[in-house]
């Protein structure tokens, strides 16, 4: 029918015109980055504004971790520990905010105080520390507890230095003032930020003039975005998508283990799990290589202690549990009184050794692999996968035996270890309480020398391995898709804070 | 006399519309109560989720963490009982204030407005394509009933209806964005970007529209007036025009269903194409148990459904004059 043909024809014509009108603006573009979230505000006190700005180099912290895990001066010139309770931080007189105002001791202290007041994530890093002005460009930090690692604390992304003068309300790009090598020139909350080179930057000016940072919330959409060639850096690529990049000539995967350890937290209140021999047996019976293969596509490296995913402590990674040893596990379980019955499962006083293992997000495969491994030992494991809120609820009701999670291992070591092992620790889900552990943490808090501190952390890690309140598997693999047309990308275990560096540029520019 | 009758008709219409409007308000009110209570029955606490984000426990001391949680619960009114919470929330809603997001700290009304704009752009673009495809191919299929073209169209409809929406969307985005690089992946809302997700949405819904148009057209083609028109030598164009007009009621129904689905949020399509619409907003809010955001989204969706139904009722009356004098008992 003519009518049908004309309708179809007009549709095809308009479709073609629309296609022709589409821009093909991939090549010759600024460096384009995609992440899963663009902040809803430019205010650093609003998460994740601080780390987004820091990652691109628009905002700076006083100190920053290098790829090896060592904290180095960044916006600060250096830091000196005067005694157990006092530090001096020297600033750079040449450093300025985007507005041109100097980065003085007063400005930095006011920035820190504002973060402490308005950002709940910042306050733990400032607790018990008093900052005062020693001179225009020197800050004095006084701590309530001895030997607080001030540079480490001040390296946290929540403490990016920003101008706190009244006119800077951070409600728009005109009222935002940071110190970094890039300035914000366009901003749409939850969508896009565009940065341009700060021509009055105090340090090495970046080779690339413009950066565009966009939000793509869906993981699969980010994979496609990376493969399309439009994006030069795409964060948080799921491990399961790695294979799609093997044959891609537009984008390659850069994989760096994050400072974040996959941990099987055990509920020490459950029958069986209250016995350290049983917990140790479970730890010997974990084939970490297999879990790494199934959970992280083999992109990580097994670790047997929690802190070993922190590059500074990476030499601890094979401590105590130096291999997968199912036989040793079985002997320990026999020794603890859990005997195998005809059905293949272990019983003590007619009660089975059973564990409800809770997983969430991408840990289902790892949980199921663990179920099979422990099943071989005669442990009955039920895997329950769901939303993280279900795990939080289960902890309140006690309906859990184990859960798999990954916590950050980079930061001030004493509060982190307290968080995991102290009876008041917010990450001590299993209710672990041990005098020797608390004693060792106390000793770590009192040493000032980093070598001594490391030795004590090693001793603590060994003790924890023997007690096994939790079982450690491997660091989370952190996958970033990097365009083959991009030069100068530096892999980092905290990639989200270190996306762009001054030497980065597109090939041919 | 005619004036008196037209006054009576006008009064009937006003009464009809008023009773529908009151019914709509009652539906909205009751829905708000049910949704408010149901959301809070889901396991999980938004404040715990906010502060205990996996991997980023910044407060290492459990008692300090608990203190902070209590502060935030107090701030967001979560310590009050559910009736007080509802009363406070409803009072704000009457002032068109949907509250503040627990997660972002921004006005929910503002966030939803931004997301809804994106969804409406996508929805209308998809509807245009769906209507063009639906009516065009539906009529063609009806006119060529039993023939080769009809069979091809019906086969394509079955194939498209069988393919899940996410498979179609991923295939389209792979083909156009990765393989041939015609489509630009980003999070921008513009005409250059809307065509592919609109196409995906339209192709997902078009088979239903095509089949409805085909079925109603075939029915109309068998009616006496059509046969009479043919026998009188009336042109095909005019006959088809009359058939389409008489088939409009079921077409409007099918399109309104699609519109409601789109406004509720084509979550899969929005996620895959990174289209920052209300579907993506809702998914994030649900995952984070962001009560004000979920409530705001639910109210907007219920309102959209009610308004769409009202609009459809009005359209029915406009399209079919016989319905004007039908009893208006709501």
Q: How far is CA A360 from CA A257, A312, B289, in A?
A: 20, 29, 16
Q: Do B185 and A192 touch (CB under 8 A)?
A: no
Token pair for residue B43?
């396991």
Q: Look at A158-162, B25-29, B203-207 and tell me which has the smallest mean pLDDT.
A: B25-29
Taking alpha carbons only, the member of A444, A497, A503 closest to residue A71 is: A497
Nearest to A46 among B43, B58, B105 (CB): B105
Q: Is the dihedral of CA A101, A105, A110, A115 positive or negative?
A: positive
The answer to whether residue A425 neighbours chain B at the CB level (below 8 Å) is yes
Chain B residues 167-196 within an 8 A CB cutoff of chain A: 170, 173-174, 177-178, 181-188, 191-192, 195
Taking alpha carbons only, the member of A315, A327, A389, A399 closest to residue A356 is: A399
What is the pLDDT, as a whole number, of residue A21?
Answer: 47
Token pair for residue A186?
């366009």
Same domain (yes/no): A243, A209: yes
Cα B122 from Cα B269, distance rounded (Å): 10
Same domain (yes/no): A144, A189: no
Q: Which residues contact A391 (CB under 8 A, 6 or more apart)?
A: A358, A360, A400, A403, A405
Q: What percent of chain A has pLDDT over 90?
A: 71
Min Cα distance A458 → chain B (Å) is: 21
For the cut 50, the answer to whether the pLDDT of residue B11 exceeds it is yes
Mean pLDDT of A43-71: 92
Min Cα distance A426 → chain B (Å) is: 4
Do the domain assignments include residue A246? Answer: yes
Do the domain assignments include residue A369? Answer: yes
> Domain limits at A303?
260-472
What is the pLDDT, as a whole number, of residue B6?
Answer: 53
CB burial string A288-324: b at 16+ within 10 A, e below:
bebbbbbbbbbbbbbbbbbbbbbbbbbebbebbbeeb
Same domain (yes/no): A277, A399: yes
Q: How far is CA A199 from CA A52, A194, B9, B177, in A?
A: 21, 16, 73, 35
| CB contact at 8 A, B186 and B274 | yes
Q: Is the dihedral of CA A166, A171, A177, A178 positive or negative?
A: positive
User: Regarding beta strands A31-35 and A233-234, do their DSSP bridges make them parallel or antiparallel, or are they unpaired?
Assistant: parallel
What is the pLDDT, as a whole number, of residue A337?
Answer: 95
For the cut 60, the answer to whether the pLDDT of residue A28 exceeds it is no
* Chain B residues in contact with A231 (beta carbon < 8 A): 185
Per residue in A64-113, pLDDT (tens digit) is 999 988 899 999 999 999 998 999 999 999 999 999 999 999 999 999 99
Cα A297 from Cα A240, distance rounded (Å): 7
Per residue in A334-375, pLDDT (tens digit) is 999 999 999 999 999 999 999 999 999 888 989 999 999 999
Same domain (yes/no): A269, A396: yes
Cα A218 from Cα B173, distance rounded (Å): 13
Taking alpha carbons only, the member of A249, A120, A272, A370 closest to residue B181 is: A249
What is the pLDDT, as a whole number, of residue A118?
Answer: 85
What is the pLDDT, as a whole number, of residue B244?
Answer: 81
Output phi, psi for B10, to 5 deg: -60, -40
Cα A465 from Cα B23, distance rounded (Å): 66
Cα B273 from Cα B169, distance rounded (Å): 8
Q: Look at A26-30, A262-266, A286-290, B248-252 and tell me which has the smallest mean pLDDT.
A: A26-30
Do the domain assignments include residue A10? Answer: no
Question: N- to C-terminal Cα distance for chain B?
Answer: 27
Token pair 């959970």 is found at A295
Same domain (yes/no): A383, A308: yes
Min Cα distance B286 → chain A (Å) is: 11
Q: What percent of chain A has pLDDT over 70?
A: 94
Same domain (yes/no): A301, A404: yes
Neighbours of B240 (CB within 10 A): 21
Token pair for residue B86?
């509802």
Region for residue A361 given its phi and psi (left: phi exceeds 0; alpha: psi -120 to 50; beta: otherwise) = left
What is the pLDDT, as a whole number, of residue B330?
Answer: 42
Same domain (yes/no): A297, A418: yes
- Interhelix angle for A219-228 vs B165-173, to 10°? 20
DSSP string, A83-136: ETTEEEEEE-TT-B-TTS-B--HHHHHHHHHHHHHH-TTTHHHHTTEEEEEEET
Q: Based on the structure, what is the number of domains in chain A?
A: 3
Nearest to B184 among A25, A387, A416 (CB): A25
Q: Quick one: how far is CA A362 from the chain centroid?
A: 15
Q: Do A389 and B105 touch (CB under 8 A)?
A: no
Q: How far is CA A121 from CA B51, B53, B57, B105, in A?
A: 9, 11, 9, 15
Cα B171 from Cα A387, distance rounded (Å): 28
Per residue in B213-261, pLDDT (tens digit) is 999 988 888 888 888 888 888 888 888 888 888 888 888 888 888 888 8
**Complex-level ipTM:** 0.75
Output phi, psi for B269, to 5 deg: -65, -45
Which residues, in sequence order, are bridge partners of residue A339?
Answer: A347
Q: Quick one: how far is CA A490 from the chain centroid?
A: 17
Looking from the CA of A408 toward its CB, the CA atoms found within 13 Å total 18
Do the domain assignments include residue A165? Answer: no
User: Regarding beta strands A354-360 and A346-348, do their DSSP bridges make them parallel or antiparallel, or are they unpaired?
Assistant: unpaired
pLDDT confidence of B1, banded at 50, 70, 90?
very low
Cα B125 from Cα B195, distance rounded (Å): 7
Token pair for residue B42?
């889901």
Do the domain assignments include residue A295? Answer: yes
Same domain (yes/no): A268, A229: no
Same domain (yes/no): A251, A291: no
Question: N- to C-terminal Cα distance for chain A?
Answer: 56
The CATH number assigned to the domain holding A200 equals 3.40.190.10
What is the pLDDT, as a whole number, of residue B325?
Answer: 57
For the cut 60, the answer to whether the pLDDT of residue B178 exceeds it is yes
Do the domain assignments include residue A103? Answer: yes
Do the domain assignments include residue A20? Answer: no
Same domain (yes/no): A275, A218: no
pLDDT, mean over chain B: 84
Q: Which residues contact A354 (CB under 8 A, 6 or more apart)?
A: A345, A379, A380, A381, A382, A401
The CATH number assigned to the domain holding A399 equals 3.10.105.10
Per residue in A126-172, pLDDT (tens digit) is 988 999 999 999 999 999 988 888 999 999 999 999 999 999 999 89
Do the domain assignments include residue A117? Answer: yes
pLDDT confidence of B12, banded at 50, 70, 90?
low
For the cut 50, the answer to whether the pLDDT of residue A30 exceeds it is yes
Looking from the CA of B309 toward its CB, the CA atoms found within 13 Å total 13
Output phi, psi for A96, to 5 deg: -135, 165
Cα B211 from Cα A395, distance rounded (Å): 52
Mean pLDDT of A441-456: 89
pLDDT, mean over chain A: 90
pTM, two decimals, is 0.82
Same domain (yes/no): A122, A245: no
CB burial string A59-86: b at 16+ within 10 A, e below:
bbbbbbbeeebebebbbbbebebeeebe
Region for residue A143 given its phi and psi (left: phi exceeds 0; alpha: psi -120 to 50; beta: otherwise) = beta
Per residue in B104-152, pLDDT (tens digit) is 778 899 999 989 999 999 999 999 999 999 999 999 999 888 999 999 9
Same domain (yes/no): A88, A216: no
Q: Do A23 and B43 touch (CB under 8 A)?
A: no
Collapse the DSSP code of A278 into the 3-class scheme (helix H, G, I; strand E, B; otherwise coil) and give the result.
helix
The CATH number assigned to the domain holding A130 equals 3.90.76.10
Token pair 């691109």 is found at A56
Nearest CA in chain A to B138: A4
Per residue in A367-382, pLDDT (tens digit) is 999 999 999 999 999 9
For the cut 90, the answer to whether the pLDDT of residue B50 exceeds it is no
What is the pLDDT, as a whole number, of residue B295?
Answer: 92
Cα A411 from Cα A113, distance rounded (Å): 20
Token pair for residue A474?
């491997």
Nearest to B61 among A26, A38, A426 (CB): A426
Q: Do B185 and A231 touch (CB under 8 A)?
A: yes
For the cut 50, the answer to whether the pLDDT of residue B329 exceeds it is no
DSSP string, B153-164: HHHHHHHHHHS-
Cα B48 from Cα A299, distance rounded (Å): 31
Q: Which of A159, A188, A209 is the last residue of a domain?
A: A159
The answer to whether residue B252 neighbours chain A at the CB level (below 8 Å) is no
For the cut 80, the answer to whether the pLDDT of residue A246 exceeds it is yes
For the cut 80, the answer to whether the pLDDT of residue A3 exceeds it is no
């Amino acid at each position: 029918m003519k009518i049908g043909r004309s309708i179809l024809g007009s549709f095809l014509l308009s479709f073609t015109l629309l296609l022709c009108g589409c821009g093909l603006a991939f090549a010759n573009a600024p460096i384009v980055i995609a992440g899963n979230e663009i902040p809803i505000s430019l205010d650093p006190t609003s998460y994740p504004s601080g780390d987004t700005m820091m990652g691109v180099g628009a905002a700076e912290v006083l100190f920053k971790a290098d790829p090896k895990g060592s904290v180095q001066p960044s916006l600060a010139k250096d830091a000196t520990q005067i005694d157990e309770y006092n530090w001096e931080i020297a600033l750079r007189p040449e450093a300025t905010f985007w507005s041109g105002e100097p980065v003085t001791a007063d400005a930095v202290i006011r920035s820190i105080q504002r973060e402490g007041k308005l950002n709940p994530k910042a306050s733990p890093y400032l607790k018990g520390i008093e900052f005062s002005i020693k001179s225009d460009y020197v800050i004095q930090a006084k701590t309530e507890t001895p030997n607080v690692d001030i540079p480490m604390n001040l390296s946290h992304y929540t403490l990016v230095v920003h101008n706190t003068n009244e006119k800077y309300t951070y409600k728009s790009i005109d009222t935002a003032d940071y110190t970094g090598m890039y300035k914000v020139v366009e901003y749409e909350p939850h969508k896009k930020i565009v940065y341009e080179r700060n021509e009055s930057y105090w340090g090495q000016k970046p080779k690339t003039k413009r950066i565009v940072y966009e939000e793509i919330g869906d993981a699969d959409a980010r994979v496609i975005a990376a493969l399309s060639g439009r994006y030069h850096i795409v964060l948080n690529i799921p491990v399961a998508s790695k294979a799609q990049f093997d044959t891609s000539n537009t984008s390659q995967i850069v994989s760096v283990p994050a400072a974040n350890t996959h941990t099987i937290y055990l509920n020490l209140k459950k029958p069986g799990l209250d016995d350290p021999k049983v917990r140790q047996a479970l730890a010997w019976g974990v084939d970490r290589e297999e879990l790494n293969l199934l959970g992280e596509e083999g992109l990580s490296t097994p670790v047997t202690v929690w802190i070993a995913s922190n590059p500074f402590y990476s030499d601890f990674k094979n401590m105590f549990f130096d291999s997968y040893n199912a036989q040793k596990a079985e002997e320990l379980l026999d020794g603890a009184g859990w005997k195998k019955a005809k059905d293949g499962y272990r019983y003590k006083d007619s009660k089975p050794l059973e564990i409800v293992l809770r997983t969430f997000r991408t840990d289902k495969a790892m949980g199921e692999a663990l179920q099979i491994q422990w099943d071989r030992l005669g442990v009955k494991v039920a895997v329950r996968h769901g939303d993280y809120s279900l795990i939080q609820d289960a902890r309140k009701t006690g309906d859990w035996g184990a859960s798999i999670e990954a916590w950050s291992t980079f930061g001030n070591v004493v509060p982190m270890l307290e968080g995991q092992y102290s009876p008041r620790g917010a990450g001590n889900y299993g209710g672990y309480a041990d005098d020797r552990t608390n004693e060792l943490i106390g000793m770590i808090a009192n040493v000032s020398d980093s070598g001594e501190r490391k030795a004590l952390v090693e001793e603590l890690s060994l003790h924890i391995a023997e007690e096994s309140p939790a079982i450690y598997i491997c660091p989370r693999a952190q996958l970033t898709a990097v365009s083959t047309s991009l030069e100068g990308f530096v892999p980092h275990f905290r990639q989200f804070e270190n996306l762009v560096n001054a030497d980065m540029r597109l090939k041919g520019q | 006399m005619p004036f008196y009758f037209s006054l009576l008709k006008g009064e009937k219409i006003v009464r009809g519309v008023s009773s529908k409007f009151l019914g709509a308000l009652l539906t909205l009110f009751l829905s708000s109560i049910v949704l408010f209570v149901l959301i809070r029955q889901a396991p999980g606490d938004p404040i715990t989720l906010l502060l205990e984000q996996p991997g980023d426990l910044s407060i290492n001391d459990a008692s300090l963490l608990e203190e902070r949680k209590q502060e935030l619960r107090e701030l967001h009114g979560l310590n009050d009982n559910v009736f007080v919470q509802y009363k406070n929330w409803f009072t704000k809603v009457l002032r068109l204030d949907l509250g503040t997001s627990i997660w972002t700290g921004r006005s929910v009304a503002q966030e939803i407005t931004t997301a809804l704009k994106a969804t409406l752009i996508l929805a209308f673009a998809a509807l245009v394509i769906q209507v063009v495809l639906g009516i065009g191919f539906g009529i063609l299929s009806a006119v060529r009933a039993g023939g080769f073209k009809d069979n091809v169209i019906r086969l394509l409809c079955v194939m498209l209806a069988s393919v899940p929406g996410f498979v179609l969307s991923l295939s389209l985005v792979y083909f156009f964005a990765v393989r041939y690089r015609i489509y630009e992946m980003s999070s921008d809302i513009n005409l250059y970007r809307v065509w592919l997700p609109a196409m995906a949405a339209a192709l997902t819904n078009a088979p239903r529209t095509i089949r409805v148009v085909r079925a109603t057209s075939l029915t109309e083609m068998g009616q006496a007036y059509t046969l009479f028109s043919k026998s009188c030598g009336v042109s095909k164009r005019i006959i088809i025009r009359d058939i389409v007009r008489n088939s409009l009621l079921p077409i409007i129904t099918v399109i309104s269903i699609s519109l409601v689905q789109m406004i509720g949020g084509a979550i899969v399509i929005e996620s895959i194409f990174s289209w920052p619409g209300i579907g993506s907003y809702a998914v994030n809010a649900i995952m984070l148990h962001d009560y004000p955001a979920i409530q705001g989204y639910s109210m907007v969706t219920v309102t959209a459904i009610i308004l769409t139904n009202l609009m459809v009722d009005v359209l029915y009356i406009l399209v079919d004059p016989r319905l004007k004098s039908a009893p208006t008992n709501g």
